[in-house]
Amino acid sequence: MLPKLKTALATGVALAVLSGAAMAADVKFGFLGGVTGPIESLTPPIIDGAKLALTHVNEQGGLLDGKTIELVVGDTTCADATKAADAADRMVNVEKVSAIVGALCSGATISAANNAGIPGGVAMISPASTSPALTTLDDKGLVFRTATSDAFQGGVLARVVKAAGHNNVAVSYVNNDYGKGFADAFAAAFKADGGTVAASEAHEDGKADYRAEVGSLASTGAEALVILAYGDGSGQTVLRQAIEGGDFDVFYGGDGMVSQAMADNVPAANGKIIMTRPATPDLPGADAFNVSASAANVDGNGTFVSNSYDAAFILALAAEKAGSTDRAAIAGAISDVANQPGETILPTEWKKAKELIAAGKDINYQGAAGPQSFDENGDVPGVYETIAIEDGKITSTGKAE
């Protein structure tokens, strides 16, 4: 673990997370995500994860002197940088949020940060943005993430493909920050391990027909197709048309492809695709979160749900540590509550954290999705699992090394 770092709607929907129905919220946190667009089936459980964290805050004494926190949701659409910027602008300059969970898609996070979050001095913790581009973003110490960079996941996926005996693959990636960053990381790792990337081609999201692109990739003679896109968007269409055309029999994908909607809509994919995504580690924080999520009817195993819980809980801890809901104060305290040294705080343990902070003690949050110790770039380590479609269901098939 690293030492503590001292770092500097569209839909108009507000979801209140209150300790009692009659209480009015005193503080606003924003949530930016793809409520509509290519990850719309993934987003509701991720919102639930953040809501659950704030429920624990509000029910266990509230923030500071008993303030309740409201979660205001903005729709970035995931795919439209302008709409992401507009949603963030509303959060920062209209809703006057103290901090933001999100965005989810990497391009949306970069646009939201550059156009509103950073100029407004608002700390943002993304639970799902994995593009390596976030690592080098000039964010003034304001942008963090509780999901691991694809610079790491690319290597994980490359090892999964190699371990299955495939040495020559083609890659189709969605033409955005997420797709390009993931494709570059995968290719570098796969080639370093002796594999061959016969072709790596970008495709635009939202098209109805990718048969020409798939045919071009198949003509290389590659043994398998790696699809780095979204299972609710272009990835689903590419997969379906590649199967229908008989171009490939074996497929691989990353976290963006993990979609039950894709499994439902492409039944022929059953048993034909292996994907990677961040996993819940075997740690006390994961156990505490899973018990709480189950009791609240939250899908704790959903993609990035535990990461979302961690993002919201860390922002609340930072405000408590700072003794203020001031934006700069929250940003400056994020690493203080997430990194060593300090007494361990697990998910659900808001009351304990509040008491320790009041006593002047250091705390170290051990999250639902992992240790969540931020480095100087706001990045965290992580673990991964492999996912298959079995009997029409998204199914974990074990940890990915």
The residue among 144, 140, 150, 135 whose CA lies nearest residue 114 is 140
| β strands within 8-129, DSSP E | 13-16, 27-33, 69-75, 99-102, 124-126
**Residue 135: pLDDT over 70:** yes
The residue among 221, 264, 274, 218 whose CA lies nearest residue 241 is 218
Alpha carbon of 201 to those of 133, 238, 272, 350, 365: distances in Å?
A: 19, 12, 21, 47, 41
Question: Mean pLDDT, to the nearest integer, of 211-230?
Answer: 98
Question: Mean pLDDT, to the nearest integer, of 343-353?
Answer: 98
pLDDT for 269 equals 97
pLDDT for 283 equals 83
Beta bridge partners, 14, equal 72
Q: What CATH number is given for 13-150+281-365 in this structure?
A: 3.40.50.2300
State pLDDT tens for residues 163-173: 999 999 999 99
Question: Which H/E stretch holds residue 253?
Answer: strand 251-253
**Domain 152-277+385-400 adopts which CATH fold?**
Rossmann fold (3.40.50)
pLDDT for 401 equals 74
For the ranges 22-31, 273-282, 338-347, the lowest mean pLDDT is seen at 22-31
For the ranges 119-128, 135-144, 263-272, 380-389, the lowest mean pLDDT is seen at 380-389
Q: Which long-range contacts (CB under 8 A, 24 or more apart) does 346-349 make?
A: 346/284, 346/285, 346/288, 347/53, 347/56, 347/285, 347/288, 347/289, 347/292, 347/309, 347/310, 347/313, 348/56, 348/288, 348/289, 348/292, 349/288
Which amino acid does the sequence have at 291? Answer: V
State pLDDT tens for residues 282-300: 889 999 999 999 999 999 9
Q: Where are the domains of the chain?
A: 13-150+281-365, 152-277+385-400
pLDDT for 381 equals 83
Question: Mean pLDDT, to the nearest integer, of 315-332?
Answer: 98
Report how far residue 112's alpha carbon sits from residue 78's, in angstroms, rounded to the nearest whole number.
11
